[in-house]
């Protein structure tokens, strides 16, 4: 199998916050990998921008260190790094100030794609948009990439959309959700819409329930003060898990086209029922394993912010009537694992006596680790023991299927940045989608705040609070094991 790398058009990419954590860990190493893969044309430029007083050489040194730290050693090539760094420069700019903008303007070339990555605190997004416009840097070739979080409720998301819309058209705004850049997430669309196999079964009649899990082993230590204002609902469910739910639940778009796909996702969000209080479980990790618990990390002993949430939601439309979607995400859990599991119903009638051996068909889409898919099927147990049934996985790990080429699969950030340059918004959230997701999440959050609910404690390294298990048991179902 040969994967094709199609170079994008030459571009000037400005990374505001170019010296920050995200730029160093993801954006710059990712661009280096795209350069080595031949996807970033040689006549492209990357300009870091932040307040720090650096010159080009100082920033290039920082980029070289980021590549050394975050690109696997076997993929580091001295000559390629040198060639990449020749395309890297730096401008000192304060997003709230007036200095540096003319210097930035003088670096931008005419008639090439201009991308501005806002890898800074969201409070600065409006300032950047306004100044890019005021200094005549934003032109028809320009587009902006906006990091999460996009608002903390409907009102703030609307305000942010409004301020960006003053200076940029919607087709120039790329709201990033890196979950959408994952290979498997896109494969989910390929599996659903490029095969006849699943679509006829993809409905309440044949699907018992869907589970979406995003489990992390890390806690919030080091960024507890920030996280405490957010919590798992705002940080993960309203955006990442919601996007995954949309891709599973949406109707087939008429074409794989940005607005066609996003129109269908929006319909799903709007069809979500309000979530009942008894269908929500919130948790906070307790101390353990020699480490402090959530309240120590958040620096607020009385914090009611959740580091874990599980909830059951329903989509009120013909396709999904009575098929629950269970979502859960949390920190300091047993393993780092993200997956979507679609559990099918049992056949209407069994011709086999071996009812004991029967298990549901489950399609598991693994986002991490080891991206791939797995279809749990029933077969005959091999051997002379008569007609006994057993469940086996039909396994497709990308690493196994693609061999060495799996190494060249771009990570989510790389793929999404290349999509920005191509002008393809399919994998980016539209303004109305983000607002609809907040319109769904806001009353849920307001509900537990009004009730004064406290999150339930859970042990670090566990699968989450006891009540989350009960949420499923009550319905005669169980969560899949969280496995790394």
Site membership for ligand NAP, residue 94 (CB under 6 A): yes
Which of 31, 95, 173, 246 is close enough to bind ligand NAP by CB under 6 A? 95
Site membership for ligand NAP, residue 406 (CB under 6 A): no
Contacts of 423 (CB under 8 A, 6+ apart): 113, 143, 171
Provide the minimum distance between the beta carbon of 372 and ligand NAP in the complex, in angstroms, as a whole number.
24
Q: Nearer Cβ to ligand NAP, position 20 or 287?
A: 20
Provide the minimum distance between the beta carbon of 350 and ligand NAP in the complex, in angstroms, as a whole number.
48
Check whether 51 is labelled as a binding-site residue. yes
Which of 13, 87, 137, 147 is close enough to bind ligand NAP by CB under 6 A? 147
Which of 120, 59, 132 minimizes the C-alpha distance to 89?
Answer: 59
What is the b/e burial string over 428-456, where b = at least 16 CB atoms within 10 angstroms of the residue's CB? bbbbebbbbbbbbbbebbeebeeeeeebb
In the numeric block, which tokens belong to residue 293? 């618990």
Check whether 454 is labelled as a binding-site residue. no
Per CB under 6 A, the segment of 17-25, 203-211, 326-334, 443-451 that binds ligand NAP is 17-25
Q: Do 269 and 436 form a contact (C-beta atoms < 8 A)? A: yes
Site membership for ligand NAP, residue 120 (CB under 6 A): yes
Per CB under 6 A, the segment of 19-27, 233-241, 463-471, 476-484 that binds ligand NAP is 19-27
Q: Do 237 and 309 form a contact (C-beta atoms < 8 A)? A: yes
Check whether 21 is labelled as a binding-site residue. yes
Which of 17, 181, 410, 455 is close enough to bind ligand NAP by CB under 6 A? 17
Per CB under 6 A, the segment of 47-55, 329-337, 394-402, 431-439 that binds ligand NAP is 47-55
Check whether 24 is labelled as a binding-site residue. yes
Check whether 371 is labelled as a binding-site residue. no
- In 187-324, beta strands by DSSP E: 207-215, 280-285, 308-313
How far apart CA 453 and CA 258 sit, in angstroms, is 40
Per CB under 6 A, the segment of 11-19, 292-300, 332-340, 457-465 that binds ligand NAP is 11-19
Query: How close are the terminal C-alpha atoms of the chain, in Å?
Result: 28
* CA dihedral (324, 330, 334, 340) positive or negative: positive
Check whether 208 is labelled as a binding-site residue. no
Check whether 22 is labelled as a binding-site residue. yes
Binding-site size, ligand NAP (CB under 6 A): 22
Q: Nearer Cβ to ligand NAP, position 116 or 326?
A: 116
Provide the minimum distance between the beta carbon of 57 and ligand NAP in the complex, in angstroms, as a whole number.
17
DSSP result, 366-416: EEESS-EEEEEEEEEPSSSS-S-EEEEEEEEEHHHHHGGGGGGS--HHHHH
Q: Do 152 and 426 form a contact (C-beta atoms < 8 A)? A: no
In the numeric block, which tokens belong to residue 372? 């791939």
In 10 A of CB 159, how many CB atoms?
Answer: 12
Provide the minimum distance between the beta carbon of 223 and ligand NAP in the complex, in angstroms, as a whole number.
9
Q: Nearer Cβ to ligand NAP, position 51 or 380?
A: 51
Is position 240 annotated as part of the catalytic site?
yes
Q: Nearer Cβ to ligand NAP, position 20 or 292?
A: 20
Q: Which of 240, 297, 349, 473 is catalytic?
A: 240
In Å, how far are 172, 310, 335, 336, 472 from 469, measured between CA atoms?
44, 9, 17, 19, 6
Which of 119, 142, 161, 462 is close enough to bind ligand NAP by CB under 6 A? 119
Q: Nearer Cβ to ligand NAP, position 53 or 110?
A: 53
Check whether 389 is labelled as a binding-site residue. no
Phi, psi of 325 (to 5 degrees): -110, 120
Which residue has the CB atom at the shortest distance from ligand NAP? 20
Site membership for ligand NAP, residue 166 (CB under 6 A): no
Contacts of 39 (CB under 8 A, 6+ apart): 5, 6, 7, 8, 410, 418
In the numeric block, which tokens belong to residue 413? 């950030």
Task: Tell me the catalytic residues.
Answer: 240
Which residues are at the interface with ligand NAP (CB under 6 A)? 16-23, 50-52, 93-96, 119-122, 124, 147-148
- Return binding residues for substrate: 178, 182, 216, 235, 331
- Return binding residues: 17-24, 51, 148, 178, 182, 216, 235, 331
């Amino acid at each position: 199998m040969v994967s094709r790398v199609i170079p994008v058009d030459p571009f000037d990419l400005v990374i505001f916050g170019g010296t920050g954590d995200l730029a160093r860990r993801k954006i710059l190493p990712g661009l280096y990998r795209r350069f080595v893969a031949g996807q970033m044309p040689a006549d492209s430029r990357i300009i870091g921008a932040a307040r720090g007083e650096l010159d080009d050489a100082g920033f290039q040194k920082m980029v070289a260190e980021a590549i050394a730290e975050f690109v696997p050693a076997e993929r580091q090539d001295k000559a390629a790094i040198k060639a990449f760094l020749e395309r890297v420069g730096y401008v000192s700019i304060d997003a709230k100030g007036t200095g540096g903008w003319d210097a930035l303007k003088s670096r931008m070339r005419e008639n090439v794609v201009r991308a501005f990555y806002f890898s800074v605190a969201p409070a600065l997004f409006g300032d950047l948009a306004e100044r890019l416009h005021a200094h005549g840097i934003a032109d028809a070739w320009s587009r902006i990439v906006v990091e999460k979080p996009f608002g903390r409720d409907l009102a703030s998301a609307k305000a942010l959309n409004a301020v960006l819309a003053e200076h940029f058209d919607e087709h120039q705004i790329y709201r990033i959700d890196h979950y959408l850049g994952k290979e498997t997430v896109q494969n989910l669309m390929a599996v659903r819409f490029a095969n006849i196999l699943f679509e006829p079964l993809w409905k309440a009649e044949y699907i018992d329930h869907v589970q979406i899990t995003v489990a992390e082993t890390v806690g919030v230590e080091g960024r507890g003060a920030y996280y405490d204002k957010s919590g798992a609902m705002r940080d993960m469910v309203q955006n990442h898990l919601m996007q995954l739910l949309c891709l599973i639940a949406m109707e087939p778009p008429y074409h794989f086209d940005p607005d066609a796909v996003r129109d269908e996702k929006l319909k799903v969000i709007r069809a979500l029922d309000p979530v009942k209080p008894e269908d929500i479980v919130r948790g906070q990790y307790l101390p353990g394993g020699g480490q402090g618990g959530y309240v120590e990390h958040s620096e607020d002993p009385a914090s009611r912010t959740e580091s874990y949430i599980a909830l059951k939601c329903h989509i009120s439309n013909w396709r999904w009537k009575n098929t629950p979607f269970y979502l859960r995400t949390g920190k300091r859990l047993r393993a780092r694992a993200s997956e979507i599991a679609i559990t099918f119903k049992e056949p209407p009638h069994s011709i086999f006596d071996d009812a004991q051996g029967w298990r549901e068909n489950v399609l598991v889409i693994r986002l991490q680790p080891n991206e791939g898919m797995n279809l749990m099927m029933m077969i005959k147990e091999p051997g002379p023991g008569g007609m006994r049934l057993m469940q086996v996985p039909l396994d497709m790990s990308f690493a196994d299927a693609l061999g060495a080429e799996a190494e060249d699969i771009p990570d989510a950030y790389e793929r999404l940045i290349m999509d920005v340059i191509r002008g393809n918004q399919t994998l980016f959230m539209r303004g109305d989608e983000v607002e609809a997701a907040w319109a769904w999440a806001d009353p849920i959050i307001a509900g537990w705040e009004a009730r004064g609910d406290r999150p339930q404690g859970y042990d670090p390294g566990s699968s989450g609070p006891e009540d989350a298990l009960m949420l499923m048991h009550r319905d005669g179902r169980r969560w899949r094991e969280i496995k790394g």
